[in-house]
Structure formats: C-alpha cells, structure tokens
Amino acid sequence: MNLRKKDWRIILTITIMSLLVFFSKIGLSKQNYEVAPDFKIEDLDGKIHTLNDYRGKILLINFWATWCPPCRAEIPDFIEVYEAEKNNGLAILGLSVDDLSTNELQTFVRRFKINYPVALATQEIIRQFRPGQYIPTTIFIDKKGQIRHKHVGLLDKKTLLDYFRKLKAED
C-alpha cells in the first residue's frame, strides 16, 4: 500500500488531534478541578460570606443538621481544628440544612460553642454545591477556589487535618 504525502498528513493530523483530546481528558500535566461556584450567604450573625472572601484560604463547607448524630459528633473536632488552624489559612463555613428559625439554630450554635460561621443553607447554595442526599457532607475548596474533595459522612479530626495540610502545602 503506497500512501501519498497528503494521506500521511491527514493521518498525522488525526493522530495528533486524538492524542490532544486524550491527554486533555486525563489531565497529563496538571489535574483540572472544578471551580467552586460563587455564592453569597448570610450567617447567623448577619455577616455576608462569598467565595471571594476565602481566596488564599482552604475553605471547608460543611452541610449538616442539628438532628443528625454524625453531624453532631464531628462538631467538637471542627471547633478544635478551626481554633488551632484559623490563623494558618483554614476557614470553615457550616451550612445547616435544618428546617429551623435563625433563633433556634443560633441557640444550638451557642450551646455547642461553635466558633466558626454558621448559616442556614439556602436552596440556591444546595443546588450550587450539590452535597447529595447524605449529611454530613464537607466540601474542601483550595486556595484558588477549586473544589478538591467532597467527604460524605463523619469527618474525624485526623482526616480533616490530613486534607487541610495537603492542600495548604500546595502552591
């Protein structure tokens, strides 16, 4: 079979295009992460939070509820880790999926001495972040505003610190 010069160019072009598509899908040089959706939510103290407020920090968005035993179990670790690491670039935003009033949730937050911002999750933020049907769900967002990990279920202190330190060590 004798291929002409034009045929070779076509074969070479198709091969190169195929390789480019393949390598872009697997992320040869760098992993591509989903950019976190911008959000705007008011916490229980009336402060507005947006994604841009957390640029340069590792942000954990924790979807939880007051009636959820695993959610309640992870709160002391979140409090402890936040207190120790908030000056080292860790931010936590607790988003309650409860059907409670702001006052009822504020009472719970005070009773448990939660030291990080807490807000009632809106349908919009749930749609944006898609935490799924199970809580607790914690979404890790890196310094550049990219979603890096979604942890479904109880998040213990060791795992939380491991994820935080890994993301903090990145440029």
pLDDT the model gives residue 8: 57
89-106 burial, b at 16+ Cβ within 10 Å, e below that, comes to ebbbbbbbbbebeeeebe
**Cα separation of 165 and 38, whole Å?**
24
**How far from each other are the two terminal CA atoms of the chain, in whole angstroms?**
53
Class of the CATH-defined domain 40-169:
alpha beta
**Cα separation of 164 and 88, whole Å?**
10
Q: Dig out the tokens for 113 from the structure.
A: 């001495």
Q: Which amino acid is at 120?
A: L
Each residue's pLDDT tens digit in the chain (171 positions)?
555 666 556 665 665 655 544 444 444 445 788 999 999 999 999 999 999 999 999 999 999 999 999 999 999 999 999 999 999 999 999 999 999 999 999 999 999 999 999 999 999 999 999 998 899 999 999 999 999 999 999 999 999 999 999 999 986
Could you identify the residue written with the tokens 């010069």?
5
pLDDT the model gives residue 111: 97
**Cα separation of 3 and 135, whole Å?**
61
pLDDT the model gives residue 32: 81
pLDDT the model gives residue 4: 66
- Annotated domain spans of the chain: 1-32, 40-169
* CB-based contact 79:85 (threshold 8 Å): no
